Amino acid sequence: MIDSPLARFSPFLAFARNNLSRARARTILAMAGITIGVVAIASLGMFGATLEQSFLDTSDDAIRTVAVGPGEDSEFGLLHREQVAEIERYAGNGDVYTLTRGRGEVTGLQETTSASLVSLSDPEVFVTAESGQIPQNWRSGVAIGNELAETLGVQPGDSVQVDGESRRVVAVLAESSRASFVSTGDAVVLPPGEFGDGASQVLIRGETPQQAFAISDRIDENLNSDRRTRYSVFDAESALEQFNQQIGLIRTFLLAVGGISLLVASVSILNVMLMSTIERKEEIGVLRAVGYHRLDIVKLMLYEAALLGVVGSIFGVLISVGLGMVMNAQLLSDPLAFSGQALQYTVLGFLFGTGASFLSGLYPAWKAANARPVEALRD
Amino acid sequence: MSVISATDAVKIYESGDKTLRALDGVSVDVNAGEFASVVGPSGSGKSTLLNLLGLLDEPSEGSVTVDGTALSTLSKRERTDLRRETVGFIFQSFYLVPTLTARQNVAVPGLVRDDRSDLQARADELLERVGLGDRLDHYPNELSGGQKQRVAVARSLINDPDILLADEPTGNLDQDTGAQVLDVFGEITDEGVAILTVTHDEQVTDFADRTIRLVDGRLDDD
Ligand SMILES: Nc1ncnc2c1ncn2[C@@H]1O[C@H](COP(=O)(O)OP(=O)(O)OP(=O)(O)O)[C@@H](O)[C@H]1O
Ligand SMILES: [Mg+2]
């Protein structure tokens, strides 16, 4: 303790460490309390951040898409060239696509069913083939959503009847994720411009969600008036806001849970430190008698509390990072995909852990320092 | 030359509505290099006197003077510093830190000094002097009572005090180990350090240069 490297750096730190080694089980339990608190704060916070990240990742495309269709006061039922041009004028540098929807009878090898028919100006932007292939310059044949393909029992190369007309299946589509915006699970996708005499919707995709929201505002302002809703304009702004609100709520809740467990941990540190000051009453009295100032005693006790906190928190951070890697692997399919925010929570957990421990050390330290040596040493 | 002195010291304890004069006008002078013992019946104020001389407590009336400085003129902080520089304490129940080795226990009072460069060498040297040169790295539970008390004596010397105050230093020791501690005391006083010890042990009073008798908080001089 007087000759170790730690002691040369700070003899008090070495002394504090030695004091903690006296009631080893108690010290470890107190540290475990802090560790649990830190894990709670850090990993629950990270969980919120990872959840948000995973949502944004998977719905990224949907969030930056604006859908425009005929409004309740429109003088048109479908969007024709004229309307598309009108919308395009306000689309800025967003990409503009058209979507036509309908319903029809589809007959496969085994069954006949009613399905939705979809035609997209640029199918490759919204759908991906699971098997088969959508040709570059698609003119004939149909692509079929995976659920429908299963119902009908068809594969690429087979034929289906769509509204009585025989069509070759060129592709079965992969399950549509939220990101694709157009759900095609039970749909027949027809080549561009294949059916209908106008589009049901114009889809505009911005580079960022904010850009998309701006486009949608612009279209609404310029093409609709207070009295007439010629176009219905839909974007993800309110959904995103709602999501942000919910994730905020979830995060606050998780942090509160973490905070409470840390509070419990600090109470246990307080308890351990108080017990230790009572047990070491005479010894502290001797230290005062041989010339330790009250501040020296405070320092010694706070070093002990801080050591408990720092070591407990380091373990907590290590465990949290491990848990974070598991979460990342599950939700973001990359164990190392820590967002800056997720890492902030580990730092936050560490600071809270050490801080809480330090604060709980204050009262016992003050109490120990103020015990009169004469009283402590009366046998 | 007197190292520490108390003049007409009175100590009054108030508990509830009762007041107790634990010391009732006691004057004591301790000179450099002298070995004085304090005896008296239980409750006569021996420990109280020791606490006053050791700057652990203040007299209710009268004064305590260290090297010509009146205690009443010092702040708490200055008093603690003065205590560290001039007084060493030895207790009946040793009060060693159980998780520290002998040399570490001896070094403890030095940890708050600014200059700690020779602390370890000094601790070893003191243990050597009290005859424990071969027990430097032993923990208290590996030492006998007499050896523990000698570690405590070495610890009380680490800051080069002018006086050692001991409350029943041989109280927990048998005749032989008590004698060993007394031998160490003899050597210490030879170097000019004063020792004032409260005791019930005749072995100690026989060894002392002078014996102060207390009865009911007063000096009993005959
Ligand atoms: N803090 C205190 N509060 C009240 N009374 C006290 C206090 N300390 C000591 N006394 C009383 O003062 C008197 C002297 O006590 P002191 O401890 O000095 O006796 P002592 O001579 O050391 O006795 P012993 O030989 O038993 O150790 C006793 O009556 C004791 O009860
Ligand atoms: Mg006593």
Distances (CA, A) of A152 to A102, A108, A111, A327: 19, 5, 6, 38
Structure confidence at residue A2 (pLDDT):
61
Structure confidence at residue A275 (pLDDT):
92
Structure confidence at residue A177 (pLDDT):
64
Q: Give the single-character DSSP code of A332.
A: I
Give B46's contacts in chain A (Cβ within 8 Å).
Answer: none
For B89-132, where are the alpha helices, taking DSSP H only?
102-107, 119-129
Q: Please list the pLDDT of chain B residue by residue as tens digits (222 residues).
A: 789 999 999 999 998 889 999 999 999 999 999 999 999 999 999 999 999 999 999 999 999 999 888 998 999 999 999 999 999 999 988 999 998 999 999 999 998 887 878 888 999 999 998 999 999 999 999 999 999 999 999 999 999 999 999 999 999 889 988 998 999 999 999 999 999 999 999 999 999 999 999 999 999 875
> Could you tell me which residues come within 8 angstroms of residue A113 by beta carbon, excluding any fewer than 6 positions away?
A105, A106, A148, A151, A152
Structure confidence at residue A1 (pLDDT):
60
| Mean pLDDT (whole number) for A243-247 | 87
Q: Per residue in A326-350, pLDDT tens? A: 988 988 888 888 888 888 889 999 9
Residue of B nearest to A18 (CA): B99
**Nearest atom in ligand 1 to B14's CA:** 4
ipTM of the complex: 0.91
CA distance A183 to B109: 78
User: What is the SS3 string spanning A95-147?
Assistant: EEEEEEEEEEEEECCCCEEEEEEEEECCHHHHCCEEEECCCCCCCCCEEECHH
| Mean pLDDT (whole number) for A318-331 | 91
Fold of the domain spanning B1-218 = Rossmann fold (3.40.50)
280-339 in A: which are within 8 Å (CB) of B? 282-283, 285-293, 296
User: Among A56-60, A191-195, A349-353, A366-370, which is the least confidently predicted range?
Assistant: A56-60
CB A171 within 8 A of CB A129: yes
A6 touches chain B (CB under 8 A): no
Partners of A101 in beta bridges:
A118
Rg (CA), chain B: 17
Distances (CA, A) of A370 to A86, A221, A278, A288, B108: 82, 72, 12, 10, 20
Give A296's contacts in chain B (Cβ within 8 Å).
Answer: 112
> Could you tell me which residues come within 8 angstroms of residue A312 by beta carbon, excluding any fewer than 6 positions away?
A30, A31, A32, A33, A34, A35, A38, A265, A353, A357
For the residues of B33-94, what is the DSSP string, one character each? T-EEEEE-STTSSHHHHHHHHTTSS--SEEEEEETTEEGGGS-HHHHHHHHHHHEEEE-TT-
pTM of the shown model: 0.78
pLDDT surpassing 70 at residue A253: yes
Q: What backbone phi and psi angles, to 5 degrees, belong to A225?
A: -115, 175
Structure confidence at residue A379 (pLDDT):
62
Rg (CA), chain A: 33
Average pLDDT, chain A: 88
| Percent of chain A at pLDDT exceeding 70 | 98
**Which helix (H) or strand (E) covers residue B23, if one does?**
strand B18-31
Q: Give the single-character DSSP code of A231.
A: E
Q: What type of residue sits at position B149?
A: Q
Give the number of whichever ligand sits closest to the CA of residue B166: 2
- Report the candidate in A57, A49, A32, A30 with the shortest Cα–Cα distance to residue A348: A49
Q: Per residue in A136-181, pLDDT tens? A: 888 888 999 988 888 888 889 888 888 888 899 999 988 876 556 7
Backbone conformation region of residue A351, classed left if phi is above 0, alpha if psi is from -120 to 50, else beta? alpha
**Which helix (H) or strand (E) covers residue B167, if one does?**
strand B163-167
Structure confidence at residue A23 (pLDDT):
87
Q: Is the CB of B42 under 6 A from ligand 1?
A: yes
Structure confidence at residue A378 (pLDDT):
77
Q: What 3-state class would DSSP assign to A67? A: strand
CB A305 within 8 A of CB A341: no
11-70 in A: which are within 8 Å (CB) of B? 11-12, 15, 18-19, 21-22
